[in-house]
Amino acid sequence: MAATAPEPDDVPSDGPWAQAWKRLRRNRMAMAGLVVVLAMALSAVLAPWIVPFDPREMERWTGALAPGTRHLELCNEMVVERGKAPRPQDVPTAVGKAAVDGAAHVWRIEVQDEVTTLLRVTVDGGKIQQIGEGGKRHTTLEIAEDEFIRVKDGGAVVRVPVLAVGGVLPAPAPQQAGRFVVMVERVKRPPEAKRTVEIALGTDGKVTTVTSAGVPVDGEMRVRAENVRDTSLDGARIEHSHPLGTDQEGRDVLARVLFGARISLLVGIVATFVSLSIGVFYGAIAGFAGGRTDVFMMRVVDVLYALPYIFLVIILLVAFGRSLVMLFIALGLVQWLTPARVVRGQILSLKRREFVDASVTLGATPWTILIRHLIPNTMGVVVVFTTLTIPAVILEESFLSFIGLTVLFRGEPIDSWGALVDYGRNALGGDGERWWLLVFPAAAMSLTLFSLNFLGDGLRDALDPRQKGRG
Amino acid sequence: MGRYVLRRILWMPLVLFVLVAASFFLIRLAPGGPFSAERSVSPEILANMNAKYHLDAPWWEQFARYVGGVLQGDLGPSFKFKDRTVNQILANGIGPTVMLGAIATVLALAIGLVAGTIGAVKQNSVFDYGSMSVATFGMSVPNYVTGPILVLVFALTWKAVPVSGFDVSFALWPMFVVAGMYVLWRGAEWAKSGLGSVTFARESACFWLLVLLLASCAAVTTLVGSPKLILPSVTLALPFASRIARLMRAGMLEVIGQDYVRTARAKGLSETTVVVRHALKGGILPVVSYLGPAIAGVLTGSLVVEKIFNIPGIGREFVEAALSRDYFLVLGIVVLDGALLVSFNLVVDVVYGFLDPRIRYD
Amino acid sequence: MADDTPLLRLDKLSTWFRTDRGPVKAVDGVDLEVRAGESVGVVGESGSGKSVTMLSVMRLVPSPPAQHQGRVLWKGEDVFGWNARRVRKFRGRECAMIFQDPMTSLNPYLKIGLQLTESIELHLGLGHHAARGRAAEMLGRVGIAMPEQRLDDYPHQFSGGMRQRVMIAMALSCDPQLLIADEPTTALDVTIQAQILELIDAQRKAAGTGLVLITHSLGVVAGMCDRTVVMYAGRVVEEGRTEDVFASPRMPYTIGLLKSVPRLDVRETRLVPVPGTPPDPQRLPSGCPFRVRCPWAEDRCAAERPELREVQAPGAARHRIACHVDVTTTPPRHDPASFGKVNP
CATH class of residue range A16-46+251-467? mainly alpha
From first CA to last CA, the distance across chain C in angstroms is 48
Q: Which one of C101, C109, C114 has the shortest CB-CB distance to B202?
A: C114
Of all residues in chain A, the percent with pLDDT exceeding 70 is: 94
pLDDT at A6: 41
Reported as a pLDDT band with limits 50, 70 and 90, residue B109 is very high
Helices of type H across C125-217:
128-141, 147-150, 160-172, 190-207
Enumerate the residues of chain C whose CB falls inside 8 A of the CB of residue A2.
292, 340-344
- d(CA B102, CA B123) in angstroms, rounded, equals 31
Q: Which one of C60, C91, C156 has the shortest CB-CB distance to B357?
A: C156
Domain boundaries, chain A: 16-46+251-467, 70-113+192-241, 115-188
Reported as a pLDDT band with limits 50, 70 and 90, residue A180 is confident
Contact B327, B79 (CB under 8 A): yes
pLDDT at C270: 67
pLDDT at B76 over 90: no
pLDDT at B361 over 70: no
- d(CA A221, CA A86) in angstroms, rounded, equals 11
Q: What is the DSSP letter of A87?
A: P
Instruction: Output the CA torsion A253→A259→A263→A266 (10° steps).
Output: 130
Q: Which residues contact A205 (CB under 8 A, 6 or more apart)?
A: A85, A99, A100, A102
Give C175-197 pLDDT, tens digit per residue: 899 999 998 888 788 888 888 88
pLDDT at C187: 79
Mean pLDDT confidence for A114-118:
82
pLDDT at B112: 95
The alpha-carbon radius of gyration of chain A (Å, integer) is: 31
Give A162-172 pLDDT, tens digit per residue: 888 888 777 77
**How many CB pairs (< 8 A) connect A and B?**
131
* B160-191 exposure pattern, b = at least 16 Cβ within 10 A, e = fewer: eebbeebebeeebeeebeebbeeeeeebeebb
Q: C159: part of which helix (H) or strand (E)?
A: none
pLDDT at C184: 87
- d(CA A87, CA A80) in angstroms, rounded, equals 8
Taking each helix axis from N to C end, the angle separating B143-150 and A379-402, rounded to the nearest 10 degrees, works out to 40
pLDDT at B59: 80
Mean pLDDT confidence for C134-151:
92
The residues facing C43 across adjacent strands are C215, C230
Reported as a pLDDT band with limits 50, 70 and 90, residue A181 is confident
- To probe the interface with B, which of C58, C74, C116, C118 has the most B CB atoms within 10 Å? C118
pLDDT at B360: 64
- To probe the interface with C, which of A1, A7, A10 has the most C CB atoms within 10 Å? A1
pLDDT at B284 over 50: yes
- Interface pTM, i.e. ipTM: 0.86
Q: Which one of B260, B268, B355 has the shortest CB-CB distance to C93?
A: B268
Give A296-310 pLDDT, tens digit per residue: 998 888 888 777 788
Flag the least confident range among A16-25, B32-41, C268-277.
Answer: B32-41
Q: Which one of B18, B144, B342 has the shortest CB-CB distance to A399?
A: B144
Mean pLDDT over all residues of chain A?
84
pLDDT at B258 over 80: yes
pLDDT at C266: 60
Quick one: closest CA in B to C128, which residue? B199
Give A119-144 pLDDT, tens digit per residue: 888 888 778 888 888 778 888 888 87
Structurally, what CATH architecture does the domain formed by B95-326 represent? Orthogonal Bundle (1.10)
Q: Which of residues 242-301 of C touch A (CB under 8 A)?
A: 276-277, 279-280, 283, 285, 292
pLDDT at B208: 76
Q: What is the DSSP letter of C331?
A: P
Whether the CB of C21 is below 8 Å from some CB of chain A: the reply is no
Contact B139 A453 (CB under 8 A): yes
The residues facing C73 across adjacent strands are C9, C78
Enumerate the residues of chain C whose CB falls inside 8 A of the CB of residue B261.
107
Enumerate the residues of chain B whose CB falls inside 8 A of the CB of residue C114.
202, 277
Q: What does DSSP say about strands C227-232 and C178-182: parallel, antiparallel, or unpaired? A: unpaired
The greatest distance separating any two alpha carbons of chain B, rounded to the nearest whole angstrom, comes to 85
pLDDT at B32: 62
Selection from B22, B21, B15 nearest residue B64 by Cα: B21
pLDDT at B62: 85
Question: What single string gives the DSSP state of each residue in B298-346?
Answer: HHHHHHHHHHHTT--SHHHHHHHHHHTT-HHHHHHHHHHHHHHHHHHHH
Give C193-215 pLDDT, tens digit per residue: 888 888 889 888 888 899 999 98
Quick one: closest CA in B to C125, which residue? B197
CA angle at residue C129 from C128 to C130, to 5 degrees? 95
Taking each helix axis from N to C end, the angle separating C128-141 and C112-124, rounded to the nearest 10 degrees, works out to 110
Before C64, cis peptide (omega within 30)? yes
Q: What is the DSSP letter of B274?
A: I
Please state the pTM of the whole predicted model.
Answer: 0.83
Q: Which residues contact A232 (CB under 8 A, 6 or more apart)?
A: A107, A108, A238
Mean pLDDT over all residues of chain B?
83
Give B16-58 pLDDT, tens digit per residue: 888 888 888 888 777 666 665 555 567 777 777 777 777 777 8
Selection from B359, B269, B302 nearest residue B105 by Cα: B302
Quick one: closest CA in B to C87, which residue? B268
pLDDT at A9: 45
Question: What single string gives the DSSP state of each residue in B158-206?
Answer: S--S--S------TTHHHHHHHHHHHHHHHHHHHHH-BTTB-GGG-HHH
* C-alpha A234, offset from chain centre: 38
pLDDT at B196: 40
Give C292-318 pLDDT, tens digit per residue: 888 888 888 888 888 888 887 777 778
CA distances from A414 to A251, A322, A390, B144 (A): 14, 11, 19, 18
pLDDT at B33: 61
pLDDT at A93 over 80: yes
* C-alpha A382, offset from chain centre: 27
Quick one: closest CA in C to B201, which residue? C128
Which class for A48: exposed (0-12), middle (13-18), buried (19 or more C-beta within 10 A)?
A: middle
Enumerate the residues of chain C whose CB falls inside 8 A of the CB of residue B267.
91-92, 96, 118-119, 122, 170
Give A187-204 pLDDT, tens digit per residue: 887 877 788 999 999 888
Contacting C with CB below 8 Å, chain B residues are: 197-199, 202, 258-271, 273, 277-278, 281-282, 355-358, 361
Q: What is the DSSP letter of A452?
A: H
Give B231-242 pLDDT, tens digit per residue: 999 999 999 999
Reported as a pLDDT band with limits 50, 70 and 90, residue A439 is very high
Provide the residue type at A307 as one letter.
Answer: L
Most confident segment among B69-73, B237-241, C74-78: B237-241
Taking the CA of residue B128 and the nearest CA in chain A, the distance in Å comes to: 15
Greater model confidence, B149 or B355: B149
Q: What is the DSSP letter of C146?
A: S
Instruction: Output the CA torsion C221→C222→C226→C228 (10° steps).
Output: 60
Enumerate the residues of chain B whose CB falls inside 8 A of the CB of residue C109.
281-282, 355-357
Selection from A444, A313, A459 nearest residue A379 by Cα: A459
3-state secondary structure of B8: helix
